[in-house]
């Protein structure tokens, strides 16, 4: 994801299993592409030496809050739009009402009840928060550069899937960002899909393509994760055994939505 913990299987299926064709520059994706993509983004770890062998997933309802600059209604609208989009996926986590906290009025302990914290900060506030994180990131230069240069990143806290917390930090003054895309990618990855893969040409989970909002492919990835069969902290091998049947279950929903 561009994540602190930063955060695939066969190829070629019969023609009847191929998704409806998208833009002319991209081939249609297949069920195998979805299976492969889920395994990559769910278990890969961009800033670690090895993949994870356990799945991350919210076991409890997501309780989101955005910490924002005074009068920054645009960031609030963008984040709210992301969560509304996720709620429309084939399978989705339970998401409670988005709460808002202005950065200059934040109080000690005020964010403790929330397990999904989004900091949408101006440049000066971003630098202050980054300095506070420096000691945590000093041992990982690659990760530090990601926060310092990307300025649209996140990390997981808590004690694993059963106590999962997501923190997203965005410099809203960065002119290089498509802010809506930034919020989409980081929030989707914060659900428990923390890696990127340049092979996923249909997906936001790819820093090298022209996808700016989640489409059917990302809907399917999130829907796999939040299907009832996948439990928090489930071993990778067990998840891999379940995913093909989950994709079979979701595929008619995808076809009915015309991709």
Render pLDDT for 35-87 as a digit per residue (tens, 0 to 9). 999 999 999 876 667 788 999 999 999 999 999 999 999 999 999 999 999 99
Percent of the chain with pLDDT over 90: 63
Residue 240: predicted pLDDT = 98
**pLDDT for the residue numbered 13:** 27
**Kind plus residue range of the DSSP H or E element containing 155:** strand 152-158
Using pLDDT thresholds of 50, 70 and 90, give the confidence band for residue 253: very high
Whole-number pLDDT of residue 175: 78
Strands 99-102 and 116-121, bridge-based pairing: unpaired
Q: Strands 64-68 and 116-121, how do they pair?
A: parallel
Mean pLDDT of 18-44: 80
Q: CB within 8 A of 200, min separation 6: which ones?
A: 33, 37, 40, 41, 206, 209, 217
More confident residue, 36 or 139: 36
Beta bridge partners of residue 68, listed in sequence order = 102, 120
In whole angstroms, what is the distance from residue 50 CA to residue 179 CA?
30
The confidence score (pLDDT) of residue 138 equals: 63
- Number of domain units in the chain: 1
Of 160 and 244, the one with more pLDDT: 244
Task: Show Cβ contacts of residue 206 under 8 Å, excluding neighbours closer than 6 positions.
Answer: 196, 197, 198, 199, 200
Q: Which pLDDT score, from 0 to 100, does residue 95 have?
A: 98
d(CA 85, CA 214): 9
Distance CA 79, CA 203 (A): 19
Looking at per-residue confidence, does 148 or 245 come out higher? Answer: 245
Q: Across the chain, what does the average pLDDT equal? A: 85
| Burial degree of 45 (CB within 10 A; 0-12, 13-18, 19+) | middle
Name the residue with tokens 């980081």: 186
- The more confident residue out of 237 and 21 is 237
CA distances from 132 to 12, 91, 113, 129 (A): 48, 37, 21, 5
Question: Each residue of 149-206: pLDDT tens digit?
Answer: 678 888 887 665 567 899 999 999 987 778 999 999 999 999 999 898 889 999 999 9
pLDDT of 136 over the 70 cut: no
Does the pTM surpass 0.75? The reply is: yes
Please, are residues 72 and 123 in contact by the beta-carbon 8 Å criterion? no
Instruction: Determine the pLDDT at residue 147.
Output: 65
More confident residue, 78 or 138: 78
Q: What's the domain range around 113? A: 1-259
Strand partners, 99: 65
């Amino acid at each position: 994801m561009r994540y602190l913990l930063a955060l695939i299987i066969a190829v070629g299926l019969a023609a009847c299993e191929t998704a409806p064709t998208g833009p002319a520059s991209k081939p249609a994706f297949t069920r195998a592409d979805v299976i492969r993509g889920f395994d990559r983004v769910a278990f890969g770890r961009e800033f670690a030496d090895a993949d994870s062998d356990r799945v991350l997933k919210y076991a409890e309802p997501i309780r989101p809050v955005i910490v924002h600059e005074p009068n920054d209604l645009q960031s609030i609208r963008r984040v709210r739009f992301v969560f509304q989009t996720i709620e429309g996926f084939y399978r989705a986590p339970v998401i409670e009402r988005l709460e808002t906290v202005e950065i200059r009025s934040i109080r000690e302990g005020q964010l403790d009840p929330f397990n999904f914290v989004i900091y949408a900060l101006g440049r000066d506030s971003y630098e202050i928060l980054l300095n506070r994180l420096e000691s945590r990131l000093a041992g990982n230069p690659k990760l530090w550069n990601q926060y310092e240069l990307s300025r649209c990143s996140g990390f997981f806290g808590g004690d694993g899937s059963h106590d999962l917390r997501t923190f997203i930090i965005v410099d809203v003054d960065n002119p290089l960002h498509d802010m809506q895309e930034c919020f989409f990618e980081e929030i989707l990855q914060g659900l428990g899909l923390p890696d990127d893969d340049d092979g996923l040409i249909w997906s936001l989970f790819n820093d090298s393509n022209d996808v700016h909002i989640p489409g059917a492919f990302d809907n399917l990835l999130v829907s796999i994760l939040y299907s009832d069969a996948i439990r928090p902290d489930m071993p990778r091998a067990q998840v891999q055994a379940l995913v093909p049947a989950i994709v079979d279950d979701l595929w008619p929903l995808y076809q009915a939505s015309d991709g």
